[in-house]
Structure 1
Amino acid sequence: MSNHSLFAPDALPNPALSAADQQLGEGAWVLREYASAHVDPILEALGQIRRHSPFRHMITPGGYTMSVGLTCCGLVGWTADRKGYRYADIDPETGQPWPPMPDVFLALAQAAARRCGYDGFEPDSCLINRYVPGARLSLHQDKDETDFSAPIVSVSLGMPALFQFGGHKRSDRPEKIPLFHGDVVVWGGPDRLRYHGVLPLKDNPHPLLGSNRINLTFRKTR
């Protein structure tokens, strides 16, 4: 059985949005524990990605070292350095193409998007962030892509985090949403360019991943 069939519409226990899901905006939802049943194949695939393209702490254009560790998979990967933020076909750390996106990653991202009304989502990149206690991600917009019609799909694994979901201006006061192991956040349409981030993580070890949080963020870049 292919990984794609794991997430076929008739295989999902709740193909439509359920009472457990939380709507954040007109085009944004939290799907609680949506990825929980498929954590083992996700982590197995992640192990292979890490061996090919290890986590690293990138430098921002302003010269700051990011507190989260990053790697990527897919046709392109997101990178940052003193020259700016961009997508690249080649991993600058290894000089090789990024690892291909595993079937289980793609199937999960497409099923989550479809559940929120975004049919036909075809992500070509998955940014993988690793958080340890104290790591954070400041408020930002995902705007390095050329196609804003596709949603963002974000999967949380490991330690809980406080996700900030703001407005279309940096000054807009963000809502703080607790995210737990297996939760998936999907935002697109009128919410696609809303500011978002993650507050500094507290050390609340997870039984499976210890003092780590892994976040998979799926995007259609072009």
Structure 2
Amino acid sequence: MPPIAMPPGLKLAQDVMTPAEETELIALIEGSGLAYTPYDKGNTRSSTSYGWKYDYANDSFVPCKPIPEGFRTIAERAAAAAGLSCDDFAECLLNRYEPGAVIQPHLDKPVWEHVVGISLGVPTTMVFREPASGEERPVELSPRSLYVLADDARYVWQHSLPPMQGTRYSITFRTFSAEGLRRLEACPAEI
């Protein structure tokens, strides 16, 4: 049976860092002040953001502390993979997924343009689903891998994560879309 094709626009890179760098990033994530989100009750996923955070309750942005220097190297690698400068990233979202944690099928909010994710800890499968046809394409995310969501993979195919079998960490970098920049004008100044 041939391998399942990735959704159009999905880029995947393996081993974008050493195991030692992964360990350092996990320690930085653990020390970042992770908190469970009120809109995701009962899910064992905790997170924190740097730069700007999207507030789902108020449909607006909240300014956060700047992205720490410890994330600079991986931000540069993520930016290069997406053809960007790391200064283009508006948000750095850190997540810890404990065993059993999930992500429901979704598309990232239209306030974001580019989405680049880094997977750390245990491997997982990101399931992409094309809503019109119901077709699913599972994509394995190994530790130390990086993915870029663009084109159909970003705007058409929903993505989700099944229950974690161990502890996984992720770093997601996002840039503002034109809509995001319009909404940003109504937000308070950066902290």
Q: Same fold (TM over 0.5)?
A: yes
- Bin the TM-score by the shorter chain: 0.7 to 0.9
Cα RMSD (Å)? 2.7
Aligned partner of 2:188 in structure 1 is: none
CA distance in 1, matches of 2:146, 2:37: 24
TM-score (structure 2 length as normaliser): 0.74
Does the Cα contact within 8 Å between 1:156 and 1:214 map onto a contact in 2?
A: yes
What letter matches 1:45 in structure 2?
L
Equivalent positions of 1:30-179 (< 5 A) are: 30-37=12-19, 38-50=21-33, 54-59=34-39, 65=41, 67-80=43-56, 83=57, 86-89=60-63, 98-116=64-82, 118-120=83-85, 122-145=88-111, 147-148=112-113, 151-167=114-130, 169=131, 172-179=134-141
What letter matches 1:46 in structure 2?
I
Cα offsets for 1:38-76 (capped at 9, x unmatched) = 2133234324422xxx3213225xxxx151423223221
> CA shift at 1:132, angstroms?
1.6
Aligned partner of 1:182 in structure 2 is: 144
CA distance in 2, matches of 1:171, 1:84: 32
Aligned length: 171
Does the Cα contact within 8 Å between 1:164 and 1:197 map onto a contact in 2?
A: yes
What letter matches 1:201 in structure 2?
M
Q: Which has the higher contact order (CA 8 A, sep 6+)?
A: 2
CA distance in 1, matches of 2:42, 2:99: 14
Does the Cα contact within 8 Å between 2:11 and 2:148 map onto a contact in 1?
A: yes
What's the secondary structure of 2:38's corresponding residue? coil
Aligned partner of 2:158 in structure 1 is: 195
Instruction: Evaluate the alpha carbon distance shift between residue 216 and residue 152 of structure 1 in structure 2; reply closer, same or farther with a 3 A threshold.
Output: same
User: Which structure's residues are more often helix, by fraction?
Assistant: 2
Aligned partner of 1:16 in structure 2 is: none
What's the secondary structure of 2:39's corresponding residue? coil
Aligned partner of 2:189 in structure 1 is: none
CA distance in 2, matches of 1:174, 1:85: 29
Instruction: Evaluate the alpha carbon distance shift between residue 85 and residue 36 of structure 1 in structure 2; reply closer, same or farther with a 3 A threshold.
Output: farther
What letter matches 2:85 in structure 1?
G
Does the Cα contact within 8 Å between 2:118 and 2:170 map onto a contact in 1?
A: yes
Cα offsets for 1:144-169 (capped at 9, x unmatched) = 42x52xx21111111221111233x3
Aligned partner of 1:27 in structure 2 is: 9
CA distance in 2, matches of 1:219, 1:115: 13
Instruction: Evaluate the alpha carbon distance shift between residue 115 and residue 35 of structure 1 in structure 2; reply closer, same or farther with a 3 A threshold.
Output: same
TM-score (structure 1 length as normaliser): 0.65
What letter matches 1:120 in structure 2?
S
Aligned partner of 2:185 in structure 1 is: none
